[in-house]
Structure 1
Amino acid sequence: MPEAPYRYRSPDEDSARWLGFPFRDGDIVISTRSKSGTTWMQMICALLVLGTPDLPAPLPRLSPWLDWLVEPRDEVYARLAAQPHRRFVKTHTPLDGVPLDPRAHYVVVARHPLDMAVSLWHQAGNLDRVRMAELTGQPKPEGPPGPRTPLAEWLPRWVDREADPREELDSLPGVLWHLTDAWSRRDQPNVTLVHYDDLVADLPGQMRALAHRFGIDVPEARWPELVEAATFERMRRRADQLAPDPAGVLKDRSAFFRRGGSGQGPELLDAETLARYRRRTAALAPPDLLTWLHRDG
């Protein structure tokens, strides 16, 4: 018998909500770490599946975050059951924490960990912590928030911090745990790994490749419109419909689409810290994954 999925939990998510999920033929599961292209991949899937930039509902309703404790599980299941089209579901859980159903296709988006960390730092400043506590039943923060650690100080600490990868998935060990698990499954016919930098460099080519992997036939005349709708600037202009904020936890939805580029993370580290980062990652992930992830080839 296949091994039962590992249960990942945090104050606002629980991967056990996947247990018993009634998969349908053709379902797409989008598995990414935070700030690694989740919403971008959800939008790409929406465009390929629906064939139009005119989405019938806000993206977070079309493609719910199934693990998220803010929405009752039964409501999410019912909403997905009512969808007549091919479904595409979001999770931040590694693939060893979700049921691997042969009827579904699993897409894992990878981003350079340092770029992901920079986006994570900016995202933390855009979250309404009081609202999040209300929604998850956690104690509300007392008093005004204190001053944040500057990014230039925070990032080296993030590089050096020891953490249990299964308990702190947004730590450096957690990021590489998620990607190493996906990397080990990359030859399976229903698992696809996508690099964030490839989406930046060749969005049309990557969208065509995904359509082929999903078995979706897009009329040639539709491609320019669909690709344009998936560009970062166009998505930022539609932040009210696309940002993952159905419960109002973002202070500014447009700020969620902050930059969308690559390379800022490594640029913030001095040579000594960057070398330390390389040593840490070499101990946490296989060399062929790191070559692909860091674009060293």
Structure 2
Amino acid sequence: MSTLIEWPVKSRELQSNHFDSTIWNDFQFRSDDIVIATYAKSGTTWTQQIVGQLLFSGDPDLTIAEMSPWLDLRVPPKAIKLPQVEAQKHRRFLKTHLPVDALVYSPKAKYIYIGRDGRDVLWSLYNHYSNGNQAMYAALNDTPGLVGSPFTPLPADIRKCWHDWMDKDGYPFWSFWENIRSWWTIRELPNLLLLHFNDLKRDMPGEMRRIARFLDIPINEDRWPFIMEYCSFDWMKNNATRSVPLGGAFWDEGAKVFINKGVNGRWMDTLTASDSAQYEARAVKELGLECAHWLAGKS
């Protein structure tokens, strides 16, 4: 006797200096769509690269940022972005940073959610935005449809940035805990695969094959060495203009800044033992022990 699946239902909109979740209301799903979801800076671009290379059997010329847009980003507006996505002929693989209840979750699509320790996330966010140039801030703030406050540069002191992010749950970005919690809650759905950044670091070939199985992508073994090469951190950093939005125009030092170090633990020299203990206790309180353990990359 089959069990009736209770699919998530969209219950709210998230609109801000970054988000316009209303684009999902008008998005027409295809039966083979792929949605890659994270809070942010958790291996999103890496996973997009992996999916793209699996789909195209190892092609060094793929322009992943153009092929796999961040659908709910306000830039460009949905009136421009939606027709571009609908015109795509290849199997679509899109990116979102929304919690589950702010997007349309389709039984037709397959979803991949990637988690990463919040301390590593914030350090990567700090690098990403502190290196952003005026063009990035202008795009976020001057594009029509801004809801809420304009986005302003981060504090120079990363410890202040950390405490703001923790004390105000994701400030000045968006809620960290609700994002993780919303995807963890639906982890048993048959069309959702949970990945962890640490597992990709530990065993990229194994995780890539797991992704391929989940997405029903046959692997051309003759091309496997090339697929692997084009998904390596060094190759991606050296060819970052292909996988970074607008070829890196939002960073004065170019696309390589977007794909920064790909390492964990940079916070260890800055956060105190007390800071880390508070974070770990907060993770358990917000997420429960099992999810907090998974998010820490310990399983």
TM-score (norm: length of structure 1): 0.87
Q: Which among 124, 130, 148 is matched to residue 129 of structure 2?
A: 124
1:158 and 1:149, CA in 2 relative to 1: closer, same or farther beyond 3 A? same
What is the distance in 2 between the residues matched to 1:131 and 1:292? 33
What is the distance in 1 between the residues matched to 2:160 and 2:180? 23
* Stretch deviating more after TM superposition (108-117 or 45-54): 45-54
Residue 48 of structure 1 and its aligned partner are, at CA, apart by: 1.2
Residue 123 of structure 1 and its aligned partner are, at CA, apart by: 1.1
1:120 and 1:61, CA in 2 relative to 1: closer, same or farther beyond 3 A? same
Return the letter of the residue paired with 1:50: F
What is the distance in 1 between the residues matched to 2:272 and 2:110? 40
Q: How many residues align?
A: 285
Unpaired runs of 5+ in structure 1?
A: 140-144
Return the letter of the residue paired with 2:120: D
SS at match of 1:35: coil
What is the distance in 2 between the residues matched to 1:78 and 1:148? 37
Q: Which among 278, 289, 294 is matched to residue 292 of structure 1?
A: 294
| 8 Å Cα contact 2:20/2:73 also seen in 1 | yes
What is the distance in 1 between the residues matched to 2:94 and 2:197? 19
What is the distance in 2 between the residues matched to 1:246 and 1:204? 27
Q: Which residue of 2 aligns with 1:53?
A: 59
Q: Give the 5 Å matches for 1:22-171.
A: 22-56=28-62, 58-134=63-139, 136-137=141-142, 148-151=155-158, 153-154=159-160, 156-158=162-164, 160-163=166-169, 168=171, 170=173
Q: Give the 5 Å matches for 1:197-216.
A: 197-216=198-217
RMSD over aligned Cα atoms: 2.5
SS at match of 1:9: coil
* Stretch deviating more after TM superposition (247-256 or 215-224): 247-256
Residue 125 of structure 1 and its aligned partner are, at CA, apart by: 1.4
Residue 110 of structure 1 and its aligned partner are, at CA, apart by: 0.6
TM-score (norm: length of structure 2): 0.87
Return the letter of the residue paired with 1:257: I
Unpaired runs of 5+ in structure 2?
A: 1-6, 145-151
Q: Which among 266, 281, 284 is matched to residue 279 of structure 1?
A: 281
1:245 and 1:230, CA in 2 relative to 1: closer, same or farther beyond 3 A? same
Residue 146 of structure 1 and its aligned partner are, at CA, apart by: 8.8
1:134 and 1:65, CA in 2 relative to 1: closer, same or farther beyond 3 A? closer
SS at match of 2:32: coil
1:20-78 alpha-carbon deviations (Å, 9 max, x no partner): 2000011001111221111111111111112222345x222101111122213233222
Identity of aligned residues (%): 30
1:170 and 1:110, CA in 2 relative to 1: closer, same or farther beyond 3 A? farther
